């Protein structure tokens, strides 16, 4: 019998109401005060409901917010690095009292969840930004999101009646319970998770295959929640993953899932957050590469790896696999890192994301040493549709 890695905190949380409980909750929710929440909160609601954010059962209260910001732990002692909070306006906060219930609606009016309000308190945005994102610069997308959010935080457990609707890539939308079962069914004891919000290029492919050499299977788990406006759209990225897996990986050793979490761009802290989500999904190992979850120049190249040393043994059960910046090495004729080749800088082919985007926009294929030609073709076609419309008319 294959034994799965325990979820973070020891129990996989399930806050999704079903059957008679769901029907009763929907009836009750009709008469409750309501607030409309945005994409990030909807992602958090889905992640809490299905156990992706175990051990959280709802939105953080004052004590958890403080201890996570200051000490990277929940008040109950578990390692945790990102505040999961529900910011609202003062007017919205006034609609409900502590001890009361509040309905959380999506932008389309769907009633998604009922929040039992256990606290409401001022959102210390400066503390949130400095501690989590290491900067107050509002050019940072995570900091900007904090400052654009409400001034009051509501906290408490949630019960979810309706998950956000997803019409795309339905077969890949696995809950943590479903991915755990799939790993057991496949006989995988050692499963490596890979986080991505971008199409996979040759450097990614290299470190993934290195990780596959020491594990039973790969859980390719792209983030499909809210991202920056200039990130590659989710549907395009998913087509790239399918092309890559079908063409260059053993199909029985790779599984694609979708992570519905919102991207925070919190660098080191988000690396821990992403690792814990994959532990909840059943992964035993997690790839941490160069500048994981970074943006701009806010974090050091390997800060996302060094942060794991700040936690005691046993606090984080999933094992990080640390990789250096990989590149195509002309001298050895293959992918490498500074650990595996003595080549000079001139023999190493690196391309920045900006340079690649410029080439793709111009309809030019990046070098084969950087990306597979099928991936480049998929991206070029997507950019052509974006720039001219589906009919080709400008």
Any idea which residue has 């690792």 for tokens?
275
Answer yes or no: 189 catalytic: no
Identify the sign of the CA torsion 101, 79, 41, 90: positive
Q: Which of 15, 103, 197, 372 is catalytic?
A: 197
From the candidates 22, 190, 198, 384, which is the catalytic residue? 198
Residues with a catalytic annotation lie at 197-198
């Amino acid at each position: 019998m294959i034994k799965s890695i325990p979820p973070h905190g020891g129990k996989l949380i399930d806050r999704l109401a079903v059957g008679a409980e769901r029907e009763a909750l929907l009836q009750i929710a009709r008469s409750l005060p309501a607030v409309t929440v945005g994409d990030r909160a909807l992602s958090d609601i889905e992640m809490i409901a299905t156990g992706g954010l175990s051990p959280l059962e709802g939105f953080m209260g004052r004590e958890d917010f403080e201890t996570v910001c200051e000490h990277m732990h929940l008040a109950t002692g578990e390692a945790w690095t990102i505040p999961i909070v529900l910011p609202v306006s003062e007017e919205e906060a006034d609609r409900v009292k502590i001890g009361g219930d509040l309905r959380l609606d999506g932008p389309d009016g769907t009633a998604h969840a009922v929040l039992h309000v256990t606290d409401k308190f001022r959102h210390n945005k400066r503390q949130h930004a400095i501690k989590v994102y290491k900067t107050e610069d509002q050019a940072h997308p995570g900091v900007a999101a904090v400052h654009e959010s409400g001034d009051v935080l509501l906290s408490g457990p949630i019960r979810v009646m309706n998950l956000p609707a997803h019409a795309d890539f339905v077969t890949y939308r696995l809950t943590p319970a479903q991915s755990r079962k799939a790993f057991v069914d496949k006989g995988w004891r050692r499963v490596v998770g890979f986080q991505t919000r971008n199409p996979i290029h040759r450097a990614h492919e290299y470190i993934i295959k290195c990780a596959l050499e020491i594990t039973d299977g790969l859980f390719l788990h792209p983030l499909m929640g809210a991202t920056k406006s200039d990130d590659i759209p989710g549907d395009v990225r998913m087509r790239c993953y399918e092309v890559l897996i079908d063409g260059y990986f053993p199909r029985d050793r790779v599984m694609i899932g979708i992570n519905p979490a919102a991207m925070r761009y919190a660098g080191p802290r988000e690396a821990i957050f992403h690792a814990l989500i994959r532990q909840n999904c059943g992964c035993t190992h997690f790839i941490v590469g160069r500048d994981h979850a970074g943006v701009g120049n806010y974090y050091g190249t390997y800060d996302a790896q060094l942060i794991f040393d700040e936690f005691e043994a046993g606090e984080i059960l999933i094992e990080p696999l640390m990789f250096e910046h990989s590149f195509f090495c002309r001298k050895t004729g293959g992918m490498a890192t500074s650990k595996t080749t003595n080549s000079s800088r001139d023999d190493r082919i690196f391309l920045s994301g900006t340079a690649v985007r410029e080439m793709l926009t111009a309809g030019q294929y990046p070098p084969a040493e950087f990306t597979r030609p099928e991936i480049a073709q998929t991206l070029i076609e997507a950019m052509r549709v974006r720039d001219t419309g589906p009919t080709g008319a400008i």
